[in-house]
Amino acid sequence: MKKALVNQWYIVKMNFFMLLSFAVLHVLQLVLDFTFASDFVVVGVLFAGLFVGGYAQNAKWKTYSKTMPISVFERVNASFAFAVGQMLIALAAVLTTNIVSVYVLNDVGAINLVWSLVDVEALPKEILAYSVAVAWFAGLSILTAFCFFISGALKRYFAIAGSVAVLGTMFALIMLIMLRLDGFLTVFANVMNKAPWQLAFVVIACVLLLLASWFAVLGIETVNSPESKKRFITRALVIFAVAVLTFGGLVGYSYAKGYLVIPEREDKYSNYPHYNDYNDKTPEATTEPADEENEKRIMDDVYGFLSEGMCVDLTMKDFEKRAQRIGFEKEGNEYISESRNIKFTVEGDSEITEFNLVNDSSCNGNIVLSKAEGDAFEEKFSLGMSEADLIKLFKNEGIYPAYITEYYDFADGYDDRVIVRKYNLYLQQRNSAPNRLPSQNELSVQYYTLVIHVAEGKVVFVKSY
């Protein structure tokens, strides 16, 4: 076993830089602070899994190793040990970088340092996050392809085809992560929460899958012993079938019991400050009388939701789902929450065209609040200030643009065309540290639109909506 493991060491060496890049890029991901860190752990494991057949990368060496006094068991065991080792290394890399970034980088303000080095503040954060994710996967894919090439394992056209396949898979994974993986993880967590004993079945099924693949590889690798080959392959198939049945049974049982509920996309929604409080409570619990502070919190959240709901181009269907999730009942085009004493109407066909808060007796509402906040900022702008000063003012007030749309207009009295910038703004939450960008979790839901007209480099018109 030992000697076979030593023979696999070269693969670890070959892939080491890939793991290193994984760690570096993961740090980058954390520094840029997008919120699907848990997905990266999963993808890390998936990616390491691509190397389960690691030694197969080098066919020449694999051939040569068959001339050595190493049994097929030793070779296969070593490969599996290598695969498990590599997965552990990947996990260790992720955990280490997490710990480093959370406990070290934050404290020394490295995030600010990075942000100041890279002038990305003006860019929408989501676009940055997506770009980095794409770059991350593309980088890994290119490295994978490079590994195929240097290993000399595959013929060139296989390497190219393999690289394309890897790239395609990675991009597909990005989409999967962005769209659904959070949901799947939530499903898993939900099932485990309600029926923790099912974890035992998951573990059993995983062990069976590992065992099945071990037998399969043994069968493939066994040479000049047809009986052994047949025996190993048969075992692999039987164990694989049992593993599939275990998984299938688990899923079927969960579904029958109602544990398996695919959640809606709630990535943005889950960022609301008190979302988890609502999510954990049963509908009855939310109808309990709330104290003043609690009521304010609820109102903030609801109005935040409504404001967000108005601004992110939700379809009517998505809007309806969101409203119902936090306890609004729909009657025609009216949404009513008796416990919160709120009613609003929404008009529109597929997309929202009109939104009206009908009952706002307890508070002016976020829509109005946003407008009020916007007005407050509007007063601080002085016409004629430069655009650079305007950006500074934003920063000083803790405002960070989320989306910027830009278009041109012609206005009387100015020689040049007037640049009209429509800023959709987040207000920074009060409890985040000064001089540091808020993370997505810290972002307030307060959200409004500011339209700024700039002509000849000067602000000529500001209006909040």
Partner 1 sequence: MNAVELKGLCKKYKAKRGETRAFELKDVSLTLPYGCIMGLIGENGAGKSTTIRLMLDILEKDEGEISLLGCKTAEDRVKAKDEIGVVLDDPCFPDIFTAVQINKMMKSTYSKWNEEQFFAYLERFEIDKKKVVRKLSKGMKMKLSIAVALSHSAKLLIMDEPTSGLDPVVRNEIVEILHEFTRVPTNSVLISSHIVSDLEKLCDYVAFIHKGRVVLCDEKDRLLDRYATVHCSADEFDKIDPSAVKGSVDTHYGVDAVIERTAIPEGMNFEPVNMEELFVLFVRNQHL
**Closer of 99 and 223 to partner 1 (Cβ):** 223
Report the nearest approach of partner 1 to the CB of residue 59 (Å): 9
Cα distance from N-terminal residue to C-terminal residue, the chain: 70
DSSP conformation letters of 261-310: -PPPP-TTGGGSTTHHHHHHS-HHHHTSPP-HHHHHHHHHHHHHHHHHHH
Q: What would the two tokens of residue 377 be?
A: 């900022």
Distance from C-alpha of 436 to C-alpha of 442, rounded to nearest angstrom: 11
To the nearest 10 degrees (0 to 180), the angle between helices 226-257 and 198-221 is 160
Kindly give the pairing relationship between strand 458-464 and strand 447-455. antiparallel
Nearer to partner 1, 33 or 74 (CB): 74
Cα–Cα dist 69/178, whole Å = 48
Question: Which of 65/440 has CB closer to partner 1?
Answer: 65
At 40 the three-state DSSP class reads helix
Q: Which is nearer to partner 1, 68 or 241 (CB)?
A: 68
Residue closer to partner 1 (CB basis): 19 or 94:
19
Smallest distance, partner 1 to C-beta of residue 60, A: 4
Nearer to partner 1, 17 or 414 (CB): 17
Closest approach of Cβ 154 to partner 1, in Å? 14
Burial of 79 (0-12, 13-18, 19+ CB in 10 A): buried
Closest CB 66 distance from partner 1, rounded Å: 5
Pick 224 or 431: Cβ nearer partner 1: 224
Nearest approach in angstroms of CB 20 to partner 1 is 15
Contact status, residue 452 vs residue 462, Cβ threshold 8 Å: yes
Q: How far is the CB of 236 from partner 1 (least distance, A)?
A: 18
Please identify which residue in the block is written with the tokens 């860019």: 123
What order do you get walking across the sheet with 329-331 strand by strand? 329-331, 334-337, 342-348, 352-359
Check: CB of residue 444 under 8 Å from CB of residue 415: no
Indicate the helix (H) or strand (E) that contains 429. none
- Would you call 343 helix, strand, or coil by DSSP? strand
- Closer to partner 1 at the Cβ: 227 or 293? 227
Considering the complex, what minimum distance in angstroms separates the CB of residue 201 from partner 1? 37
Q: Interface residues with partner 1 (CB under 8 A)?
A: 2-3, 6-7, 9-10, 13-14, 58, 60-61, 63-64, 66-71, 150, 152, 223-225
Please state the closest distance from residue 158 (CB atom) to partner 1, in A.
15
